[in-house]
Amino acid sequence: MKAQVRPERTAGWQAGLLALSLLSSAMAVAAPNHALKVADALGHTHRGWSKAAPDIDAFPVNPDGTVSVIVQFNKGEDHGVGLALAKRVKRHLNIVNAEALDIPVGLLEQLLRHPQIAYVTPNRRNTAKWDDAAPAVNAPSARQNYGVDGSGIGIAIIDSGVYQHDDLQTADMTGSRIVYSESFVTGDPSTDDPYGHGTHVAGIVAGNGHDSALGYIEQYLGIAPNANIINLRVLDANGAGDDSSVIAAIDRAVQLQGQYNIRVINLSLGRPVYESYTVDPLCQAVERAWQAGIVVVVAAGNMGRDNSFGEQGYGTIEAPGNDPNVITVGAMNEHRNWSRDDDVIASYSSKGPTMLDHIVKPDLVAPGNRITSLQVPGSVLATLVRPNALLNPLNGCGAADSDPTACGVSATGQYVQLSGTSMATPVVAGAAALMVQANSSATPDSVKALMMKNAWKGYPQATNIVYDADGIPYSTQTDIFTYGAGYLDIQATMADDTVVPGGAASPEAVFDPNTGTATLVNGLSVVWAQSVVWGQSVVWGQSVVWGQNEVADNSVVWGQSVVWGQMDTSACSVVWGQSVVWGQSVVWGQASALANSDPGDN
């Protein structure tokens, strides 16, 4: 989300802020909510204007009378009209044929009426979405059996910066694996990580466990522990950033793709959905990266606890995770053991279908609850988390050690536990790095398709009760809008050498209120629409819980689910309706799922 980038839709977001958020358990500090909105300044709304984003009227006017917008131009048109009207040109966003501009609010309508303009959105804010997750997804087995560790693969971390932690050094400690750093935060060229979120994410992707090799209860190793990090900072010290910064960083990753072999982008951030992915500039940017051959992995959001309209967290996937091409990741609670038999979805993990387009999301789930990874000493998150989330070495190497100094205990303050879809996302990003190391010709679509086909689908057909860290219960159903295609299994995915013949865009769910059934609709080029091998019963499993072509509303799994509109009229309109106006406090209010350093679930 500079509407705030937030950790999946996390608590604390001010709806009028339009912020991108980090999808993690510590909440980003919200930007000030200016009293004067665009509609107030102009004396009318832009409702019904085809080129105006639906939330533009609620966007704040800057103190100097300008409004911060992203202007997309029609193909082949000159950008001169937008540049001429701007008081400030913030960024050239070539990847989406757009400009990020501050224009006087009184000139907004002149811009919207111009024939060269395709679409105008606010420069929305994004926020971050916040253990060792490797055993549950069979990462150690995959690394050992296939001899892969991420070597030579570049992973772009678009986040709050990455700190030069020991665990991100080369194995011989002679150099850093952070091979490129750049800041897109306006007025702050530092590429360090004062917030502390991006470094935690980088550790899950590629930490080599150096500082926890001795003296800790276990070694905290990332999924691809020898991969290189491209550090593209877009979030400020409070974990907030704007759309244009994120888009510019995605553009830079594409530009640097050949130089650093960037094969994966990790986006553990997001903001609400305001319009169809087909015109949202943030979604268009991730599609361009995907088409350029980069696997884009995005956090689903942290709004699974939202029940403002009786929707039980459905319809809360955040942008750009609502784009059908990218891999959108939900968070699982491992219950702090290595077996996945008792793992359940985290209560805060956002659920599909996506607003407006009704795309089936998330695509996959991965461990994201109380994940241990790298801490930035003195960072904002280090001060926000509860004390028991900060991990220190043992006094000795173990109870049997007679000499507590024999193993050379590392310094304190190296690791911290965070929760959120922000943490689940880099697990999948690291898995993607292992896959493309093993097969350099792998395409983003093949990576996504094989991950979804081979995801573990051993969940019971039931409704589960899950509890947050304060013991508050939440009811979750086992369905494709909660678990996607299932639980990431890296070993099973890498063992599958099936050739992927087409694209892997996530399908649309089409609900027929007359028959009470829903159909999953794919495009003609989508792999799971073409044959028995890629049939929907394979990708989403053999039982109704994962959805065959048609899903009955009266099945034991779907039951009276709000997704199908059987429980409450207002809830149904929130999930399936077209009239939701985002950016008003009546929709999302002031509460965040993971505010006040919520440590996640029990």
Q: What are the pLDDT digits (tens) for 361-392?
A: 999 999 999 999 999 999 999 888 888 888 88
Do 219 and 111 fall into the same domain?
no
As annotated, the active-site residues are: 159, 197, 422
pLDDT of 577 above 60: no
Q: Under 8 Å CB-to-CB from 414, ≥6 apart: which residues? A: 165, 166, 167, 211, 212, 374, 375, 391
In a domain, 494, yes or no: no
Q: Are residues 152 and 250 in the same domain?
A: yes
The residue from 104, 125, 146 where one domain ends is 125
Return the CATH number at 138: 3.40.50.200
**Is 121 found in the same domain as 134?**
no
Least confident interval from 119-123, 243-247, 536-540? 536-540
Question: Any idea which of 55-59, 153-157, 276-280 has the lowest mean pLDDT?
Answer: 55-59
More confident residue, 529 or 499: 499
Q: Residue 279's pLDDT is what?
A: 96
Mean pLDDT, residues 343-356 taken together: 92
Range 246-262 average pLDDT: 98
Would you state the pLDDT for residue 574?
62
In the prediction, which pLDDT does 140 show? 83
Residue 388's pLDDT is 84
Contact 285, 249 (CB under 8 A): no
Distance CA 9, CA 514 (A): 32
Query: Which pair of structure tokens corresponds to residue 23?
Result: 């999808």
- pLDDT given at position 317: 94
Structure confidence at residue 291 (pLDDT): 97
- Identify whether residues 101 and 158 lie together within a single domain: no
Low-confidence winner among 200-204, 344-348, 394-398 (lowest mean pLDDT): 394-398
| pLDDT tens for each residue of 500-518 | 988 999 998 887 767 666 6
pTM metric for this prediction: 0.84
Residues 359 and 426 in one domain: yes
Please answer whether residues 518 and 498 qualify as being in contact, where contact means their C-beta atoms are separated by less than 8 angstroms: no
| Position with higher pLDDT, 382 vs 548 | 382
Query: Are 218 and 325 found together in one domain?
Result: yes
Tokens of 130: 């916040």
Model confidence at 180, in pLDDT bands (50, 70, 90)?
very high
Residue 559 has pLDDT above 50, yes or no: no
| Residue 104 covered by a domain | yes
Residue 503: predicted pLDDT: 94
Q: CA-CA distances (angstroms) from residue 4 to 32, 33, 587?
A: 11, 11, 17
pLDDT at 493: 95
Residues 217 and 359 in one domain: yes
Confidence label for 336 from pLDDT (cuts 50, 70 and 90): low
- CA distances to 86, 96, 237, 322 from 282, rounded to whole Å, are 21, 9, 22, 10
Residue 593 belongs to a domain: no
Tell me, yes or no, whether 552 lies in a domain: no
* The pLDDT value given to residue 417: 92
Q: How confident is the model at residue 187 (pLDDT cuts 50, 70, 90)?
A: very high
Count of beta carbons in the 10 Å neighbourhood of residue 569: 11
Identify which has the larger pLDDT, 595 or 188.
Answer: 188
* Cβ neighbours for 203, distance < 8 A, ≥ 6 positions apart: 165, 167, 168, 220, 222, 373, 374
183 has a pLDDT exceeding 90: yes
Q: Residue 37 pLDDT more than 60?
A: yes
Residues 583, 274: contact at Cβ < 8 Å? yes
Do 507 and 521 meet the contact criterion of CB atoms below 8 Å apart? yes
pLDDT surpassing 60 at residue 146: yes
Assigned domain for 576 exists: no
164 and 290 in one domain?
yes
Tell me, what's the pLDDT at 413?
76
Q: How many domains does the chain have?
A: 2
Any domain includes 97: yes
Work out the pLDDT band at 128, boundaries 50, 70, 90. Answer: low
Query: Where is the domain boundary, 99, 125, 151?
Result: 125
Q: Given 429, 451, 467, which residue is the final one in a domain?
A: 467
Is the predicted pLDDT of residue 132 greater than 80, yes or no?
no
**Res 458: pLDDT:** 80
pLDDT, mean of residues 546-557 = 39
- Is residue 231 domain-resident? yes
41 or 587: whose pLDDT is higher? 41
pLDDT at position 501 is: 87
Q: Quick one: which of 401, 406, 370, 402 has its CA closest to 388?
A: 370
* pLDDT tops 60 at residue 241: yes
Element (H, E) at 491: helix 490-494
Indicate whether 549 pLDDT > 50.
Answer: no
Based on the fold, state whether residues 75 and 209 are members of the same structural domain. no
pLDDT above 80 (res 568): no
Tens-digit pLDDT profile for residues 229-240: 999 999 999 898
Q: Are 41 and 164 in contact, with CB atoms under 8 Å apart?
A: no
Residue 513 domain flag: no
pLDDT tier at 101, thresholds 50, 70, 90:
very high
- For residue 222, what pLDDT is reported? 95
Mean pLDDT for 260-274 is: 95
Same domain, 371 and 326: yes
Average pLDDT, the chain: 81
Q: Do 222 and 364 fall within a single domain?
A: yes
pLDDT at residue 273 tops 60: yes
pLDDT of residue 74: 95
- Could you read off the pLDDT of 295-335 as tens digits, one per residue? 999 999 999 998 887 788 889 999 999 999 999 999 999 87
Integer-rounded Cα radius of gyration of the chain: 23
Residue-number span of the structural domain to which 79 is assigned: 15-125
Strand 88-93 with 98-104, pairing: antiparallel
β-bridge pairing 228-233 and 178-183: parallel
The rounded percent of the chain whose pLDDT value lies above 70 is 77
Determine the pLDDT at residue 307.
Answer: 84
Distance CA 522, CA 525 (A): 8
Cα dihedral value 427, 432, 434, 438, nearest 10: 160
Residue 255 shares a structural domain with residue 384? yes
CATH number for the domain spanning 54: value is 3.30.70.80
SS3 label, residue 166: helix
